[in-house]
């Protein structure tokens, strides 16, 4: 479905999981396997060059390979056959040593791990760019007061900087998690037919270590043919990052509604238009992010279901991962890339943010007045009184300040100046600025550690 790739999967991660790169990952395993076996004296060193020279994806026939895979049950079997035939045309003796000691799942799984390594590298860059973009926007809007919303209703004032800081806070945790999972996930798969490397006899562990070193992967304590937690953890990381950015996109799209109009997506010719309504400016970036987030949970469910692997080599669960994990990762890559573009080019209407605070005639600041009166009459009586005045303000379309200033139960305790002060959103931000400072400090610390 390449027509939708620019819309939903427009990141470097998509190329990593292209057909050519999938085949190349498997061929890189085969080249490294020949090198490792030769280094350990299992096969002649003279065959390394010719086998390695044929381990290039452009020397395979992908269409024939795909057709043959339908009968073989996986891509590795016809790949090894094509590779062996290609090597044989160069050196008949060398062809005898292609794929020595390995099984098809070793080829496919390790090839996938090599793709994951590239995906992690790209994702590290994207996460770092997202963190920097958010940091800049937070610094710019740390004092942009707006309505905080709970249950989709006005609650108390916050700043737009704090709303963005919540997203940054989560991304910093995802950045840290990525650093933690890489050593667990980037692990060689090499067990042979049943996970014992029996065909390599007493040299199995030695070859495995040499192979891991050649591919710059960690060596597993045991082959993980039917233990798929590493791939599940990888999928969960990408799904988690996408969901964090999906929450941001959901909030952004709500703030972009015509009646709210506090933010807007980047402006560009033809962007967000309608085929029938010239006035429309649709949140197309948010739509792409939320579309991916609608699909990812189902893909993640398949990854969980695929943990049910039978005995030493599985039937069905392993095969289900082949398409699902790349689909999930490339969708998450699209989310990261689109979110970055949205953050870098978003429009923020601070005037409308401030104006929207006033649409309830001061009711958003009712809690401040309640707490001030509670010092004189107790919390519950103060709450009941202010609640009644809030209802009047709505019913009579009057400012809350005017009703408070004329109420005989209020005036003995609060002057008009005090009431106006209590109803000013700028004076009711609590620890808003402190939270922002904490997140920005941690972002600066983690960024320094990366660079």
Q: Which active-site residues does the annotation give? A: 274, 313
Alpha-carbon distances, residue 317 vs 54, 73, 228, 241, 311 (angstroms): 31, 13, 9, 25, 12
**DSSP character string of 271-339:** TT--SS-TT----HHHHHHHHHHHHHHHHHHHHHHTT---TTS-SSHHHHHHHHHHHHHHHHHHHHHHH
203-230 burial by CB neighbour count: b if 16+ within 10 A, else e? ebebbbebbbebbebeebeebbbbebeb
- Record the tokens describing residue 114, joined without a space: 């090599």
Rounded to whole angstroms, how far apart are CA atoms 193 and 184? Answer: 23
129, 163, 159: which is closest to 144 by C-alpha? 159
Query: According to the 3-state scheme, what is the secondary structure of 196-226?
Result: CCHHHHHHHHHHHHHHHHHHCCECCCCCCCC
Q: Which tokens go with 413?
A: 């305790």
CA angle 25, 29, 34 (to 5 degrees): 150
- The answer to whether the CB of 386 falls within 8 A of the CB of 373 is yes
CB distance 167 to 248 below 8 Å: yes
Q: Report yes or no: 102 and 53 within 8 Å, Cβ to Cβ.
A: no
């Amino acid at each position: 479905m390449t027509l939708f790739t620019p819309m939903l999967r427009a990141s470097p991660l998509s190329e990593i999981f292209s057909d050519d790169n999938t085949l190349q990952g498997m061929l890189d395993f085969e080249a490294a396997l020949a090198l490792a076996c030769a280094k350990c004296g299992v096969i002649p060193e003279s065959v390394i060059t010719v086998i390695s020279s044929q381990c290039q994806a452009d020397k395979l026939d992908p269409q024939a390979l795909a057709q043959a895979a339908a009968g073989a049950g996986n891509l590795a079997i016809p790949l090894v056959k094509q590779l062996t035939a290609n090597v044989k045309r160069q050196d008949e003796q060398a062809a005898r040593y292609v794929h020595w000691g390995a099984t098809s799942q070793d080829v496919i799984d390790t090839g996938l791990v090599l793709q994951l390594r590239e995906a992690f590298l790209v994702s590290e860059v994207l996460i770092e760019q997202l963190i920097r973009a958010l940091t800049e926007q937070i610094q710019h809007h740390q004092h942009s007061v707006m309505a905080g919303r709970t249950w989709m209703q006005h609650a108390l004032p916050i700043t737009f900087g704090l709303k963005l800081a919540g997203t940054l806070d989560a991304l910093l945790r995802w950045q840290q998690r990525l650093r933690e999972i890489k050593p667990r996930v980037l692990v060689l798969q090499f067990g042979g037919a049943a996970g014992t490397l029996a065909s390599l006899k007493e040299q199995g562990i030695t070859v495995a270590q040499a192979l891991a070193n050649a591919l710059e992967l960690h060596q597993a304590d045991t082959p993980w043919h039917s233990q798929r937690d590493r791939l599940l953890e990888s999928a969960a990381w990408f799904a988690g990052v996408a969901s964090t950015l999906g929450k941001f996109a959901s909030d952004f799209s709500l703030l972009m509604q015509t009646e709210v109009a506090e933010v807007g997506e980047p402006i560009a010719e033809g962007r967000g238009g309608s085929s029938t309504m010239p006035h429309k400016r649709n949140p197309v970036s948010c739509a792409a992010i939320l579309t991916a987030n609608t699909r990812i949970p189902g893909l993640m469910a398949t990854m969980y279901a695929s943990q049910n692997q039978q005995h030493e080599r599985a039937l069905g669960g392993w095969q289900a991962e082949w398409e699902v994990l790349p689909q999930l990762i490339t969708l998450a890559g699209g989310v990261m890339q689109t979110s970055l573009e949205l953050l870098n080019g978003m429009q923020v209407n601070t005037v409308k943010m401030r104006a929207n605070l006033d649409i309830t005639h001061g009711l958003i600041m009712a809690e401040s007045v309640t707490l001030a009166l509670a010092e004189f009459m107790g919390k519950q009586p103060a709450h009941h009184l202010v609640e009644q005045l809030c209802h009047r303000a709505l019913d009579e379309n009057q400012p809350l300040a005017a009703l408070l200033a004329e109420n005989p139960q209020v005036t003995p305790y609060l002057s008009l100046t005090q009431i106006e002060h209590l109803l000013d959103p700028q004076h009711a931000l609590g620890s808003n600025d402190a939270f922002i400072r904490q997140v920005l400090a941690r972002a600066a610390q983690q960024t320094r550690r990366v660079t």
